[in-house]
Amino acid sequence: MTDVRYIAYNTLLMFESPSPAGDLTKAVLDKHSYLESSERAFLKRLIEGTVERRISIDYVLNIYSSLPVSKMKKEVRTLLRMGVCQLLYMNGVKDHAAVSETVRIAKMTKVKQLSGFINAILRRIASERKSISWPKRSDGLIPYLSVNYSCPEWIADKLVREQGEEKAETVLSLSVSVRPVTARVNLSKCTVDEALALCRGKRSDICDIAIVLSDHDSIGTVPAVERGLVCIQDISSMLVGLTSGIKEYDTVLDVCASPGGKSLHAADLARGGHVTACDLSEKKAEAIRENAKRCGFSNIETKVCDMSVHVQEFEESADVVIADVPCSGLGVMGRKNDIKYNLTEDSIESLVRLQRNILKNAAGYVKPGGVLMFSTCTVSLDENQKNMEYLTEKCGLVPADFYDLLPAGLRDESARWGYLQLYGRWGSTDGFFIGKLVKR
């Protein structure tokens, strides 16, 4: 029988490296695809929950351990974190199992001599967890948000300063909530009802072309996904295509396209037109090709190019340019559990410089009278509203009203002025920004 907790332990050790490679959780789940669905679900919850709740978990451990978490050996720290995650955040796990199984794994490692230390701390937390003294809002807003939503203090402070207390807490609460997996129906291939017949899910309450999947342990085995009838995509991302005004014979350029969700949506809308999907590496371009082939779209061409550098052949070539630029990801911390630990304020400043290079070039690729759709999966003012100002003041673009093109439940007056900032309220979307601009 496969030791799922031991797999989780070794995966979590990899997160201790300065720069974890790629999507570790997905890689591990793919490697162990033979596991039963219940085992895969447990493995995923344990890895993602331990990473996601790291700051909250460390707060508790520092109460019960005389040795600060930062001073512990990484093996001990990892074992204690995964034990506390099971005790506090995985309701289906019995206390005795969370403790004894963690100690069992400790005895299999090079820190087996510290298994008694691990056992004592976890047993105390298990017996006293209902009386843990968590930070209160009255003790200080930023420490409260940081510990309760497991977020670095500087990010909590940035969100409060820029978005206000209520919106900041909405974003942070979303980052530790269960996120729905949604799929966009390729309407040139089938109807929503036909797609629903091939997957377990329901129609979205807020977007007509979206399905909320209810069984998504292994997305690749969902028949509607396998047959290319639907594409996995958050509703916020679908809005880029829905509000772009792409017509049947349009020429579309997607400048930061991988893995291709927006390009595929554009191909679905521009059925007699042409979509060019670009990204930085051959690996990313290949991911787009694979998705286009699965979905049966022959009107997509992929190119490998650095969009921070001007490409002359694209100059004023597209009716619609899509620029979903690299960003801090503050709106998708709930999907990318470790992103908040690898960000710095300096890295956001560097991203803004990169974004402006890409956006300046993207503006040049729009035909006169054409549209630039600018988007990010963040809620940072510097990356969103200030980039909109840059596009209007420096790049000769004019904000375009897209209020009436939005689903009724997601309409905001700001869309009349060319932009929409989503905060993920009620868990219906990611935190996401869309700007629509027209070239004079």
CA torsion sign, 427 to 405 to 246 to 399? negative
Is residue 201 a part of any domain in this protein? no
- Whether residue 219 is predicted with pLDDT greater than 90 in this model: the reply is no
Q: Give mean pLDDT, residues 285-299.
A: 94
| Least-confidence region, from 201-205, 241-245, 353-357 | 201-205
Domain containing 52 equals 4-131
CATH number at residue 269: 3.40.50.150
Cα separation, 126 vs 117, in Å, equals: 14
Tokens describing residue 116:
């008694």
Quick one: what percent of the chain has pLDDT higher than 70?
Answer: 97
Confidence class of residue 426 from pLDDT cuts 50, 70 and 90?
low
- Whether residue 232 is predicted with pLDDT greater than 60 in this model: the reply is yes
Provide Rg for the chain, Cα atoms: 23
Confidence class of residue 61 from pLDDT cuts 50, 70 and 90?
very high
Same domain, 22 and 163: no
Cα separation, 49 vs 372, in Å, equals: 38
| Least-confidence region, from 222-226, 278-282, 381-385 | 222-226
Confidence class of residue 20 from pLDDT cuts 50, 70 and 90?
low
> If we measure between CA atoms, which residue out of 234, 239, 230 comes closest to residue 295?
230
Q: What is the pLDDT of residue 373?
A: 98
> If we measure between CA atoms, which residue out of 300, 301, 305 comes closest to residue 256?
305
CATH number at residue 31: 1.10.940.10
Q: What is the largest CA-CA distance in the chain?
A: 71
Cα separation, 120 vs 118, in Å, equals: 6
Same domain, 111 and 147: no
Q: Which of 131, 159, 190 is the last residue of a domain?
A: 131
Is residue 197 a part of any domain in this protein? no
Same domain, 123 and 153: no
Confidence class of residue 319 from pLDDT cuts 50, 70 and 90?
very high
Is residue 331 a part of any domain in this protein? yes
Confidence class of residue 28 from pLDDT cuts 50, 70 and 90?
confident
Virtual torsion, Cα 113, 118, 119, 121, nearest 10 deg: 140
Q: Which of 31-35, 158-162, 336-340 has the highest mean pLDDT?
A: 158-162
Is residue 214 a part of any domain in this protein? no
**How do beta strands 300-304 and 274-279 pair?**
parallel
Q: Quick check: bond before 259 cis, omega within 30?
A: yes
Report pLDDT digits (tens) over 143-199: 999 999 999 999 999 999 999 999 999 999 999 988 888 999 999 999 999 999 998
Is residue 184 a part of any domain in this protein? no
Same domain, 124 and 147: no
Same domain, 255 and 339: yes
Q: What is the pLDDT of residue 424?
A: 84
Confidence class of residue 440 from pLDDT cuts 50, 70 and 90?
confident
Q: Give mean pLDDT, residues 29-37.
A: 85
Same domain, 125 and 157: no
- Whether residue 220 is predicted with pLDDT greater than 80 in this model: the reply is no
Is residue 215 a part of any domain in this protein? no
Same domain, 143 and 107: no
Confidence class of residue 102 from pLDDT cuts 50, 70 and 90?
very high
How far CA 171 is from CA of 42, 166, 368, in Å, comes to 26, 9, 37
Q: Which of 131, 154, 183 is the last residue of a domain?
A: 131
Going by C-beta distance under 8 Å and a sequence separation of 6 or more, which residues neighbour residue 403? Answer: 411, 412, 413, 415, 416
Is residue 104 a part of any domain in this protein? yes
Same domain, 122 and 271: no
Please give the angle made by the CA atoms of 54, 55 and 60, to the nearest 5 degrees. 95
Q: What is the pLDDT of residue 200?
A: 87
Return the exposure string of 52-84: e unless at least 16 CB atoms fall within 10 Å of the residue's CB, then b.
bbbbbbbbbbeebbeeebeebeebbbbbbbbbb
Phi and psi torsions of 376, nearest 5° = -145, 165
Q: What is the pLDDT of residue 26?
A: 81
Same domain, 124 and 162: no
CA torsion sign, 144 to 148 to 153 to 154? negative
Confidence class of residue 206 from pLDDT cuts 50, 70 and 90?
very high
Q: What is the pLDDT of residue 216?
A: 60
Cα separation, 177 vs 172, in Å, equals: 9
Domain count within the chain: 3
Report pLDDT digits (tens) over 349-407: 999 999 999 999 999 999 999 999 999 999 999 999 999 999 999 999 999 999 999 99
Cα separation, 173 vs 5, in Å, equals: 27
Mean pLDDT in the chain?
93
Same domain, 165 and 255: no
Phi and psi torsions of 284, nearest 5° = -70, -40
Is residue 227 a part of any domain in this protein? no
Q: What is the pLDDT of residue 334?
A: 86
Same domain, 348 and 431: yes
Same domain, 281 and 168: no
Tokens describing residue 365:
């690729």
Confidence class of residue 116 from pLDDT cuts 50, 70 and 90?
very high
Q: What is the pLDDT of residue 105?
A: 96
Q: What is the pLDDT of residue 16?
A: 84
Q: What is the pLDDT of residue 18?
A: 67
